[in-house]
DNA sequence: AAGTAATCGAGACGGTACGTCCGGTCTTCCT
DNA sequence: AGGAAGACCGGACGTACCGTCTCGATTACTT
């Protein structure tokens, strides 16, 4: 097969077992949801997946790495969203989606992953690359188009602007000092767009 | 409370050793700064403090609890700040102080503590009680007085307002997707006060 | 109690658990007999004894060390033997005893221990100290008294003499090139005592 | 053998690679000498020989088997010896040769091989077939001719007789309780030939 | 002064998971 | 049909901390 050889270099040796890869990710996701990050030990995942520990270490550098991959394997989320031309509305819709995710089991796991990332640079990198960056890029583009439309000032620091809208969600997720209500969405957007001065 | 110290029930038995308590906190802080939270194991602290593990378990429920106490023992920070009557100015000054703390070794440790708190409810509680809540109360009072002065709208959701100003600092501390520059302070305050609409 | 304090220095800390020590030795001996040295893994012994691996490592340096101790714990053998004044007879009786031991399960285990000792200096030392040396001393004394009685030449190299009598037993045990018959006893003694020249 | 090479059935498929066979034996011998039997792992040998593990397993049943073959490949020893017609002299010469071998690195390796053979029947067999048996046959023949010459009694149990001479060498090699001196040779032979009675 | 009680140090213990090594087996492609 | 490459499962290794458990020694208050 021409396509096969051109796409895959056809390396010598036994090819990686897709069966093992999937079993690991499924087992990882299961444990993550059942008992949180603490339950997702390499040993536990290996046992549940019917796989040897070495096979996991072969393909993932750390416990955190398997965890994130397992998490994203299960929560294959979409970032795409329709753009109506009204920045306030588009942002609100997106924030509502994030709030909704964060309120469920996935939110708890995400919080633990962020937590673990504080002492696992590997995991931190993966989290940025696979979770934050894609969302940032989409949001940045959204804001940029809004600027082009003249909705908001052109000299706005987009990154700070986005932080002021999204950071509170992560802050409440991790510190739990205030609830993650749906009503948050509108207030967050409204405040940064219009300010609070009387 | 006067009665508490002077009328201490004078319980029988050997009183708690102040020497041990301090040695533990010092050892904990040392290890925390040297090798991060990972290095601050109960075993390590006990060895370094010349104290038995049981003594630590006697007074602290978990590893995280000793860590926070050690951290705050070393970083005895003050929240107090002068109030000029100009909200924007007062907030900016305070944010600058936080940014400064977060940029140093203390910031790294704080990030790890927040991280660990995601899977240690005990630690999460301590962190809120001893770190976040006092700051929140001070800031809330500040904002309230500003409302009284008529600077900002009276129907502002103060908690969301404060989150939009402070959350970005914690977000950048834990996700490291953007730097913690001094310039942040002014932008953060300005945006929520005046909005970004053109 | 005076005797108690004089015998045991009364070291601080929790005293070693005699229960654990015995459980380990029993479990070790069991596994040794059931599956040979290969079955007597640290992990297996720990599991069977209801003891943690660390406890074993605390008191024994290597797998071999536990094995020998377990072996001698079970086969608490006596070296003592009556001395009739007839060297040939006394030696023959003793050799018969060794042959008998070596033919049983204990012989197989002993062979494995000797085998393992070839790549475990620790074990080699223990084997010499606890097995060979005591026997050598008893035999040496026996021969010496025979010399005193004038039975054999005073310039005999006793160690070589003993090797020529006992080494064949170990040789046949480990190489299995010839059987370990009872008849061996008499021939071995007879040959070195009288020579084989016609 | 002529017929073997010329009349080889010319089996189908790729013929066995002589290159691989030699590389394996050389690598095995190297590792054996450098780090003893423990270092001569299948994995290590394969890596060093630039050969796949399967190729080794294809031709050797166990780790021990490769080790012995590697050992004999390097130490291509000769058993042949001149026969002078004086048994005592001929034996002494041969024993001296063995003692000399045993004192060097080869002796250490041989001890480890014997050790491993205690829990590896495969290796035990190879060791008997390729090392002990040939020597035994040569020695037995030697003694038999001596009997024919009337030097020693015709009813001597040759196997026991040989054990009494050679076993001490293996005993001292494996137990290290006494040195392997050159002087041993003469004493060993002398004792069994003349007896030790005064 | 003797008794009572809480504490402290030392350290042994069962347990869980770690990350690694090696043994054998397998699968795939190349020669 | 070899053979090289290398992935895979299984089992054991030795280590690190955890949190709990004895001990004996210390240090107060109470009788």
Taking only the tens place, the pLDDT of each residue in C118-157 is 988 888 988 999 999 999 999 999 999 999 999 999 999 9
Give Cα C5 distance to the centre of its chain. 34
Q: Report residue D2's pLDDT band, with 50, 70 and 90 as the boundaries.
A: very low
The strand pairing partners of D197, in sequence order, are C152
Is pLDDT above 60 for B3? no
Residue-wise pLDDT tens digits, A91-136: 999 999 999 999 999 999 999 999 999 999 889 998 999 999 999 9
Q: Are A180 and A111 in contact (CB under 8 A)?
A: no
Coil, helix or strand for B76? coil
Radius of gyration of chain C (CA): 20
Residue-wise pLDDT tens digits, B58-116: 999 999 999 999 999 998 777 766 789 899 999 999 999 999 999 999 999 999 999 99
Residue C146 CB partners (closer than 8 Å, separation 6+): C87, C152
Percent of chain B exceeding pLDDT 90 equals 79
Indicate the angle between helix axes A63-74 and A42-49, nearest 10 degrees.
Answer: 50
A50: left (phi over 0), alpha (psi -120 to 50) or beta: left
Q: How far is CA D51 from CA A47, D20, D35, D171, in A?
A: 32, 7, 20, 37
Say whether B191 and A192 touch across the interface (CB within 8 A): yes
Q: Are B53 and B65 in contact (CB under 8 A)?
A: no
What mean pLDDT is reported for chain D?
88
> Distance (Å, rounded) from C-alpha B90 to C-alpha D68?
83
B contact chains, 3+ CB pairs < 8 A: A
Q: Is D147 exposed, middle or buried (0-12, 13-18, 19+ CB in 10 A)?
A: middle
Residue B71 CB partners (closer than 8 Å, separation 6+): B28, B29, B32, B106, B109, B110, B113
Q: Which positions in chain A touch B193 (Cβ < 8 Å)?
A: 195-197
pLDDT of residue D63: 86
Q: Report residue D6's pLDDT band, with 50, 70 and 90 as the boundaries.
A: very low
Coil, helix or strand for A13? coil
Which residue did the predictor score with more confidence, B165 or D80?
A: B165
> Distance (Å, rounded) from C-alpha B126 to C-alpha B115?
13
Does the CB of C89 sit below 7 A from strand E? no
Residue D93 CB partners (closer than 8 Å, separation 6+): D81
Say whether A118 and B112 touch across the interface (CB within 8 A): yes
Indicate the angle between helix axes D42-49 and D63-74, nearest 10 degrees.
Answer: 50
Partner-chain residue, chosen from A37, A119, A160, that has the shortest CB–CB distance to B188: A160
Does the CB of B177 sit below 7 A from strand E? no
Does the CB of A62 sit below 7 A from strand E? yes
| Chain D residue at shortest CA distance from C112 | D118
Residue-wise pLDDT tens digits, A13-47: 888 899 999 999 999 999 999 999 999 999 999 99
Q: Report residue D145's pLDDT band, with 50, 70 and 90 as the boundaries.
A: very high
Q: Report residue B80: phi and psi, to 5°.
A: -50, 145
Q: Which positions in chain C touch D41 (Cβ < 8 Å)?
A: none
pLDDT of residue A3: 39
Q: Are D153 and D67 in contact (CB under 8 A)?
A: no
Say whether B171 and A167 touch across the interface (CB within 8 A): yes
Question: What are B24-28's contacts with CB under 8 Å, separation 24+?
Answer: B24/B49, B24/B51, B24/B55, B24/B56, B24/B66, B24/B70, B25/B66, B25/B69, B25/B70, B25/B73, B25/B74, B26/B70, B26/B73, B27/B51, B27/B70, B28/B66, B28/B67, B28/B69, B28/B70, B28/B71, B28/B73
B163-172, C135-144, C175-184, D58-67, range with the lowest pLDDT: D58-67
Query: Is the alpha carbon torsion for B106, B109, B113, B118 positive or negative?
Result: positive
Q: What is the mean pLDDT of residues C30-49?
A: 96
> Distance (Å, rounded) from C-alpha A24 to C-alpha D128?
48
**DSSP letter, residue B14:** P
pTM of the model as a whole: 0.86
Does the CB of A2 sit below 7 A from strand E? no
The distance of A89 to chain B (nearest Cα, Å) reads 14
Q: What is the mean pLDDT of residues D121-136?
A: 90
The residue to which tokens 């060794």 are assigned: C98
Which residue did the predictor score with more confidence, A77 or A6?
A: A77
Residue-wise pLDDT tens digits, C81-109: 678 989 999 999 999 999 999 999 999 99
Residue D107 CB partners (closer than 8 Å, separation 6+): D101, D173, D180
* Nearest CA-CA partner of B36 in A68, A120, A37, A64: A120
- The bases of strand F with some atom under 7 A from any protein CB are 1-30
Say whether A171 and B175 touch across the interface (CB within 8 A): no
Percent of chain A exceeding pLDDT 70 equals 94
Residue nearest to nucleotide F25 (CA to C1'): C12
DSSP codes of every residue in B15-37: PP-HHHHHHHHHHHHHHHHHHHH
């Amino acid at each position: 097969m021409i396509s096969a050889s051109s796409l895959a270099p056809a390396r010598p040796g036994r090819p990686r077992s897709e069966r093992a890869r999937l079993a690991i990710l499924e087992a990882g996701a299961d444990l993550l949801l059942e008992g949180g990050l603490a339950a997702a030990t390499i040993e536990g995942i290996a046992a549940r997946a019917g796989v040897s520990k070495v096979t996991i270490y072969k393909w993932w550098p750390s416990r955190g790495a398997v965890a994130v991959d397992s998490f994203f394997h299960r929560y294959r989320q979409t970032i795409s969203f329709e753009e109506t031309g009204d920045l306030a509305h588009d942002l609100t819709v997106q924030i509502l989606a994030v709030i909704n995710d964060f309120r469920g089991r996935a939110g708890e796991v995400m919080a633990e992953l962020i937590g673990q990332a504080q002492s696992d640079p590997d995991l931190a990198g993966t989290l940025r690359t696979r979770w934050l960056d894609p969302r940032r890029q989409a949001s940045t583009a959204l804001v940029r188009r809004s600027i082009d439309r003249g909705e908001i000032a052109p000299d706005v620091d987009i990154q700070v602007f986005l932080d002021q809208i999204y950071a509170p969600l992560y802050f409440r997720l991790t510190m739990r000092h205030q609830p993650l209500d749906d009503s948050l969405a509108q207030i967050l957007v409204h405040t940064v767009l219009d300010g609070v001065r009387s």
